Amino acid sequence: MSSARISKLEALLRRVEERRQQPRLHAVSPRESSPTVPDLERVAPASQRSSLPSPAASEPIELPTSPPAAIEPPRKQPSISPLETAMAQLDDSGPLELPAPVVSRAEPRAPAPAGPDMLVTHRPGAEPLELEAPVELTQPKRPHVEREPTIEFETAKVRVNARELRAVGEPMGSPAPAGPAPSAGSPPAPLSAPSQTLEAAPLPSAAQPARAISAARVEAPKTFGELLDLSLALRP
Amino acid sequence: MTSETASPPVGGFDPGNYYAFDLARGAVHTRHGERVLVLSADVLGPLVSTAARHGDLTAVRGLGKHIGDDASRSLGGDARRAAPEAVLTHISGTLAVLGWGTLSLERWGSALVLSLQGAPALDAERLGLAALLGGVLTSVGGQDVACVPISGGANSARFLIVHPGVAETVWGWARDGVELPAIVARLAQEAA
């Protein structure tokens, strides 16, 4: 077995261990015997629940020694009705009622050693476990999580921000326009008209702009004859 | 013996083979077939001064017209419709080949000013050069043009291009010490 495959299996086993320690909301089917159709959402039938060993009777995981078969990624099932059904039944009362599982059997293989119930997408050479005892899974009560505010807004800051926001629409040096003042924390109302119009002071009548001489610089290029005529046209 | 020069720029003045020295006949001709004399500037100067003192610079003005004709032939087209830079290039090249210095054109508002550098000193008031340039522009421009000496140093001189009818007035301002900008401003103000 290649080291990559061994590491993969080890990762899977770690996941299983982690899930084992978490509260179980639903039961899944025993290990799939088919190496190509692992299904995490299939649940074990009622007749097979008895064969499911309890987590307490788990045995240490033994790595397979036989040559592995081709590993295929788990197929996603389009419908997750068992899970949805189980989730829909989540409440604080009573145990979960699991729907009838769907179990598919592959070609018979050599019996695998009994092991803990675990969410394994694939175990080479594995066969579905026989449930030995019914498993009643009870969903623990949902912890009532009181969301504590992670951010505390200081009222003073909000007021300051509101005052600042109000100042945006106010004209400079003039009383505030009539209208409802925005409350603290609420965005300022859009302005429909300029709050202030500044006009430039009128120019004095005595001031005359400088004589424009740039026209000669931007004029179109003239011919020699045109330039000569202009010079000859200068007469006192 | 002919003068050998480098190839001129495209569209520029070509001084190549301008003179043709026919030593067998002891004659010098331009490439246009005109016979020319190679004279010392020190000899020509006094002749021009005398003519200026007598108020008759017609010969000098005639010489300028010949130079203008030569420049127009070198330009190869109507100088009035050509760009000022092209006209100036051929006039300046012709004057340079003939030994009259280098010419540049300045524009002072609507007034045109010719600046001649390295020209021989014909007379103290530069009336000879003014007549020469007047003849050149008359030939090139197709109308009577007068050039009035305004200012200048030891090796340069400025000439204002004016109508012949106001040449005396402008010459009087210049002799009174009025600077070129003021003269141009006077002409522009009175014309406005």
The string of pLDDT tens digits covering residues B172-186 is: 999 999 999 899 989
**What SS3 state is found at A173?**
coil
pTM for this model (two decimals): 0.48
Q: Does B163 touch chain A (CB under 8 A)?
A: yes
Which 3-state string (H, E, C) describes chain B? CECCCCCCCCCCCCCCCCEEEECCCCEEEECCCCEECCCCHHHHHHHHHHHHHCCCCHHHHHHHHHHHHHHHHHHCCCCCCCCHHHHHHHHHHHHHHCCCCEEEEEEECCEEEEEEECCCCCCCCCHHHHHHHHHHHHHHHCCCCEEEEEEECCCEEEEEEECHHHHHHHHHHHHCCCCHHHHHHHHHHHHC
What is the pLDDT at residue B34? Answer: 83
Q: For position A174, what pLDDT does the model report? A: 45
* B54: contact with A, CB 8 A cutoff: no
ipTM score assigned to the predicted complex: 0.85
How large is the C-alpha radius of gyration of chain A? 42
**pLDDT in the model for residue B169:** 94
Closest CB to B188 among A224, A227, A234: A234
Q: List pLDDT tens digits, range B87-115.
A: 999 999 999 999 999 999 999 988 999 99
Asked if B81 lies within 8 A of A225 by C-beta distance, the reply is yes
**CB proximity A233 to B under 8 Å:** yes
Could you say which residues of chain A have pLDDT below 50? 26-44, 50, 52-57, 96, 103-106, 108, 112, 114-122, 149, 151-179, 215-216
Q: What is the reported pLDDT for A41?
A: 44
Confidence (pLDDT) at B59:
92
**Please, what is the end-to-end C-alpha distance for chain B in angstroms?**
55
Residues of chain B with pLDDT under 70: 1-11, 190-192
Q: What pLDDT was estimated at residue A171?
A: 43
